[in-house]
Structure 1
Amino acid sequence: MIFTSCISIIGRSNASKVVSRSCEQKTAIYKQSASAACNKIQPHNNICENNVWLYYFLLTNTHYFVIIKCVEVESEVTVMSENEKIKDLMTKTTDGIVTTKQVTESGIHRSALKEMVDIGELYRYARGLYLSKDAWEDDFYLLQKKYGRGIFSHDTALYLLGYSDRTPAKYTMTFPKGYNAPSLKQESIIVKRVIPENYSFGIIEMQSYCGHSINVYDLERTLCDILRGSGSDIQIVNAAMKKYAASKEKNIHKLMQYAEILRVKPKVQRYMEVLL
């Protein structure tokens, strides 16, 4: 596409209305006035199309005129394909993940996502959640993105907090009662549910092993959780309680507060009496 670049020089005049004329005509009109305005010249760049420049000028009650020199230049307008738009969108993320919501909000048709999956540029991790072929697959982070209300808990939280060296065969996430995403039944995770008042306390944000932010229950909450009910290996429980008792960062007051809320205070007390 051809545009005409108009390089203008601004000087003082009595002109006060909008004018649209060819660049050649405008130059001729103000040619005689150019020398008189040289001591007040300021650079001013514009783009005019088809050699016609539309302008107006009024600044602090002083009118200005413009001397114009027109130069034709070529400029290519590149139209990005839908796939290129998605790639551009993904360059603005740090995790290599794009969602259907992000795509549609950017004005991109969601069918482009399927095309990119078909050609191997994207991997469909879950409904509405796509991963770049070059991105590192962080299971903790992907589960967090998929289930925003899920909190890593129990044995999984112990592992993430460095209180267990046993990699969980299945990750455990806790949800508030009433939350029932259909895909949870097909997910290979252990699902725990708690009443809403016991859901929100003790949540912390930490980095996964790949450096992504995930939500985990803190250590005191996790120790209380693994003492509730069944499912946790007794060896893992004993090792975690011993390590906590020996830690300089332990917070016995908070541990006992949590234990009372979660109704495991007698169990926690027995451990602490033996280990402290």
Structure 2
Amino acid sequence: MTGIKIDKAFSDFKNKQLNSLQEINNKLEKDNILLKGDINEYQKLYVQSLIDSGSLEYASGKVIINSDWIPNDFLLRQLTLGQGVYSGPTALYLWGLSDEFPYTVYMTFKMGYKLPRTYTEWSSNVSPRQVNKQYLKDQISELKVEGTEYRISLFSMEKTLVEILREPYVLDTNLVNTAYKRYLKIVNKDTNKLLRIAKEMRSLNKVVNRLEPLL
């Protein structure tokens, strides 16, 4: 009887291991990304063997990716930092409302957040802004990334267009003018939404003054 129990326990353990390893394979096939914190005890040695063989690599201390996948740095930065929403000129670039590559990355975080010292390759060029939780939750959009189901989080087009009329962004008149002109050329633009958000953010007059010469 004892032998039967041992055999069953071994079989159950083996099945758990196999299921856990299959979960890793499925996730890599779907997402090309593994978060280190999501890897359980059954999976650690298997993942390490994939890293040793060159099939996987560390993008940061928190994020592991398929070696043959072309990663998106904006997504990897968010996954590494654990939070933060792209805003300002960086959000404009991601929306295609600007061609100026964001060498300085503008991100908005909840009040009290501090950039980690351990991931300087992902945080050294970040210009952080802290806001209350409600402001951070309003008008959040997501952008798809090829090869994964993870998404980039950023402020909506309309909220971003209102934000850039504030300092220091508004000082870059070329950036602002280009963004508004491109937005107005979008087929499914929603100027009513833009005006509503501008009113909520107490910037209605600024947005109207920017729109009128272009309409």
TM-score between the two structures when normalised by the length of structure 1: 0.59
Instruction: Looking at secondary structure, tell me which structure has more strand per residue.
Output: 1
Residue of structure 1 equivalent to 2:36 = 100
Q: Note the C-alpha offset of 1:223.
A: 0.2
Alignment-mate amino acid for residue 160 of structure 2? T
Which has the larger displacement, 91-100 or 220-229?
91-100
**What is the alpha-carbon distance in structure 2 between the residues aligned to residue 245 and residue 108 of structure 1?**
50
Alignment-mate amino acid for residue 256 of structure 1? L
Residue of structure 1 equivalent to 2:11 = none
Residue of structure 1 equivalent to 2:138 = 201
Distance change in 2, residues 1:211/1:225 (3 Å): farther
SS at match of 2:39: helix
After superposition, the C-alpha distances for 1:1-27 in whole angstroms (9 at most, x for unaligned) are: xxxxxxxxxxxxxxxxxxxxxxxxxxx
User: Are 2:73 and 1:136 aligned?
Assistant: no
**What is the alpha-carbon distance in structure 2 between the residues aligned to residue 120 and residue 246 of structure 1?**
45
Bigger radius of gyration among the two = 1
Q: Note the C-alpha offset of 1:262.
A: 2.6
Residue of structure 2 equivalent to 1:255 = 194
Count of aligned residue pairs for this structure pair = 196
SS at match of 1:107: helix
Aligned positions of 1:76-91 closer than 5 A: 88-91=22-25
What stretches of structure 2 of length at least 5 have no aligned partner?
5-13
Identity percentage over the alignment?
A: 28
Alignment-mate amino acid for residue 172 of structure 1? Y
Q: Note the C-alpha offset of 1:135.
A: 2.3
Of structures 1 and 2, the one with the larger relative CO (CA 8 A, separation 6+) is 2
Instruction: Looking at secondary structure, tell me which structure has more helix per residue.
Output: 2
User: Are 2:93 and 1:169 aligned?
Assistant: no
What stretches of structure 1 of length at least 5 have no aligned partner?
1-48, 50-78
**What is the alpha-carbon distance in structure 2 between the residues aligned to residue 210 and residue 224 of structure 1?**
32
Q: Note the C-alpha offset of 1:219.
A: 1.0
Q: RMSD of aligned C-alpha atoms? A: 3.3
Residue of structure 2 equivalent to 1:237 = 176
User: Are 2:159 and 1:224 aligned?
Assistant: no
TM-score between the two structures when normalised by the length of structure 2: 0.74
**What is the alpha-carbon distance in structure 1 between the residues aligned to residue 161 and residue 118 of structure 2?**
25
Distance change in 2, residues 1:99/1:262 (3 Å): same
Q: Note the C-alpha offset of 1:222.
A: 0.8
SS at match of 2:31: coil
